[in-house]
Structure 1
Amino acid sequence: MFMYVARRLLTAVFILFGASFLIYLLTAASGDPLAELRTLQSANKEALIQQRIDALNLDTPAPLRYFMWLGGVLGCFTGKCDFGSNLAGTPVTQLLSNAIYQTLILVVAATILSILIGVSLGIISALRQYSGLDYTVTFASFLFFSLPSFWIAVLLKEFLAIGFNDFLKNPQVTIPTTLLISLVAGLFWYAASYGKQKTRILLAVFGFVLTAGLIIFVSATEWLLNPFLGIPFMLVLGVLAAVVFTILVSGLRNRRALIAGLAMVVVGLIVYFPIQNLLDQATFLMIVIISVVFIVLGIIAGLLAGGYDKGQGARVGALTGFVMALLIFADRFMQSWGDYITNPRIKGRPIPTANASTPNLNGDFWISGLDTFTHILLPTIALTLISLASYSRYSRASMLEIMNQDYIRTARAKGVSERAVVMKHAFRNALIPLATIIAMDFGAIIGGAAITERIFSFKGMGSLFLDSLAHTDPNPVMGVFLVTGIMALVFNLIADLLYSILDPRVRVKA
Structure 2
Amino acid sequence: MLAYVIRRIFVSIPILIGSTILVFIMVKFSGDPLEPLKMRNPPAPRQTILNEEHRLGLDQPIHVQYLNWLKNLVLHGDFGPSVHSNTNIGHELGGRLVVSLRLVLISVLIALIFAVITGVVSAVKQYSATDYTFTFTGFLFLAMPTFWFAILLKSAAISYNQAIGTQTFFTIGDKSPFLTDDSAWGHVKDIAGHMILPTIVLGLVSYAAWSRFQRASMLEVLNSDYVRLARAKGLRPRRVLVRHALRTALIPLTTVTALDIAALLGSTIITERVFQWHGLGEFFLDSVGDHDANAMLGWLLISALIVILFNLVADLLYGVLDPRIRYE
Give the shorter-chain TM-score range.
over 0.9
- Mapping 1:477-496, distance limit 5 Å: 477-496=296-315
Shift in alpha-carbon separation, 1:407–1:43, aligned structure 2, 3 A = closer
Deviation of 1:131 (Å): 0.5
Which residue of the other structure, out of 244, 253, 260, is the alignment partner of 1:425?
244
Instruction: State the AA in 2 paired with 1:12.
Output: S
Deviation of 1:447 (Å): 6.7
Q: 1:127 is matched with which residue?
A: 124
User: Who wins on radius of gyration, i.e. which is larger?
Assistant: 1
Return the alpha-carbon distance in structure 1 between the equivalents of residues 20 and 173 of structure 2.
Answer: 31
Return the alpha-carbon distance in structure 2 between the equivalents of residues 166 and 488 of structure 1.
Answer: 40
Return the alpha-carbon distance in structure 2 between the equivalents of residues 26 and 492 of structure 1.
Answer: 26
Instruction: State the AA in 2 paired with 1:471.
Output: D
Does residue 1:115 correspond to 2:149, yes or no?
A: no
Q: TM-score, normalised by structure 2?
A: 0.93
- Mapping 1:238-253, distance limit 5 Å: none
Cα contact 2:146–2:267 (8 A) shared by 1: no
Q: TM-score, normalised by structure 1?
A: 0.61
Return the alpha-carbon distance in structure 2 between the equivalents of residues 48 and 437 of structure 1.
Answer: 51
Shift in alpha-carbon separation, 1:371–1:6, aligned structure 2, 3 A = closer
Return the alpha-carbon distance in structure 1 between the equivalents of residues 139 and 291 of structure 2.
Answer: 38
- C-alpha offsets along residues 69-128 of structure 1, whole Å, 9 cap, x if unaligned? 0011112xxxx3111121102121011012212212332222211111111111111111
- Mapping 1:255-270, distance limit 5 Å: none
Return the alpha-carbon distance in structure 1 between the equivalents of residues 303 and 204 of structure 2.
Answer: 23
Deviation of 1:507 (Å): 2.7
- Mapping 1:1-400, distance limit 5 Å: 1-42=1-42, 44-75=44-75, 80-89=76-85, 90-159=87-156, 161-169=157-165, 348-363=166-181, 364-400=183-219
Shift in alpha-carbon separation, 1:401–1:104, aligned structure 2, 3 A = same
Deviation of 1:405 (Å): 0.7
**What is the identity percentage for the equivalent residue pairs of Structure 1 and Structure 2?**
40
> Which sits farther off after the overlay, 54-63 or 456-465?
456-465
Return the alpha-carbon distance in structure 2 between the equivalents of residues 168 and 391 of structure 1.
Answer: 35
Shift in alpha-carbon separation, 1:442–1:361, aligned structure 2, 3 A = same
Deviation of 1:444 (Å): 7.0
Return the alpha-carbon distance in structure 1 between the equivalents of residues 252 and 44 of structure 2.
Answer: 61
- C-alpha offsets along residues 162-196 of structure 1, whole Å, 9 cap, x if unaligned? 22212323xxxxxxxxxxxxxxxxxxxxxxxxxxx
Deviation of 1:386 (Å): 0.9
> Secondary structure, in 3 states, of the residue corresponding to 1:449?
helix
Return the alpha-carbon distance in structure 2 between the equivalents of residues 445 and 146 of structure 1.
Answer: 15
- C-alpha offsets along residues 144-164 of structure 1, whole Å, 9 cap, x if unaligned? 0001112111221222x2222
Q: 1:460 is matched with which residue?
A: 279
The CA RMSD measured in Å over matched residues stands at 2.0
Shift in alpha-carbon separation, 1:496–1:457, aligned structure 2, 3 A = same
Return the alpha-carbon distance in structure 2 between the equivalents of residues 155 and 491 of structure 1.
Answer: 30
Instruction: State the AA in 1 paired with 2:131.
Output: D
> Which sits farther off after the overlay, 464-473 or 113-122?
464-473
Return the alpha-carbon distance in structure 2 between the equivalents of residues 410 and 40 of structure 1.
Answer: 77
Instruction: State the AA in 1 paired with 2:175.
Output: S
> Secondary structure, in 3 states, of the residue corresponding to 2:32?
coil
Return the alpha-carbon distance in structure 2 between the equivalents of residues 71 and 140 of structure 1.
Answer: 50
- C-alpha offsets along residues 197-235 of structure 1, whole Å, 9 cap, x if unaligned? xxxxxxxxxxxxxxxxxxxxxxxxxxxxxxxxxxxxxxx
Deviation of 1:440 (Å): 4.1
Return the alpha-carbon distance in structure 1 between the equivalents of residues 112 and 178 of structure 2.
Answer: 35
Return the alpha-carbon distance in structure 1 between the equivalents of residues 294 and 264 of structure 2.
Answer: 21
Cα contact 2:202–2:267 (8 A) shared by 1: no
Shift in alpha-carbon separation, 1:118–1:13, aligned structure 2, 3 A = same
Deviation of 1:354 (Å): 1.7
Instruction: State the AA in 1 paired with 2:170.
Output: P
Unaligned runs of 5+ in 2: none
Shift in alpha-carbon separation, 1:2–1:352, aligned structure 2, 3 A = closer
Deviation of 1:43 (Å): 6.2
Return the alpha-carbon distance in structure 1 between the equivalents of residues 290 and 167 of structure 2.
Answer: 36
Cα contact 2:38–2:44 (8 A) shared by 1: no
Shift in alpha-carbon separation, 1:105–1:507, aligned structure 2, 3 A = closer
Return the alpha-carbon distance in structure 1 between the equivalents of residues 217 and 96 of structure 2.
Answer: 36
Unaligned runs of 5+ in 1: 170-347
Instruction: State the AA in 2 paired with 1:392.
Output: S
Instruction: State the AA in 2 paired with 1:351.
Output: F
Return the alpha-carbon distance in structure 2 between the equivalents of residues 138 and 445 of structure 1.
Answer: 21
Cα contact 1:403–1:426 (8 A) shared by 2: yes
Does residue 1:499 correspond to 2:318, yes or no?
A: yes
Return the alpha-carbon distance in structure 2 between the equivalents of residues 45 and 378 of structure 1.
Answer: 48
Deviation of 1:490 (Å): 2.7
Cα contact 2:202–2:264 (8 A) shared by 1: no
> Secondary structure, in 3 states, of the residue corresponding to 2:84?
coil
Deviation of 1:371 (Å): 2.0
- C-alpha offsets along residues 253-300 of structure 1, whole Å, 9 cap, x if unaligned? xxxxxxxxxxxxxxxxxxxxxxxxxxxxxxxxxxxxxxxxxxxxxxxx
Cα contact 2:119–2:214 (8 A) shared by 1: yes
Deviation of 1:417 (Å): 0.6
Deviation of 1:36 (Å): 0.6
Shift in alpha-carbon separation, 1:4–1:105, aligned structure 2, 3 A = closer
Deviation of 1:411 (Å): 1.0
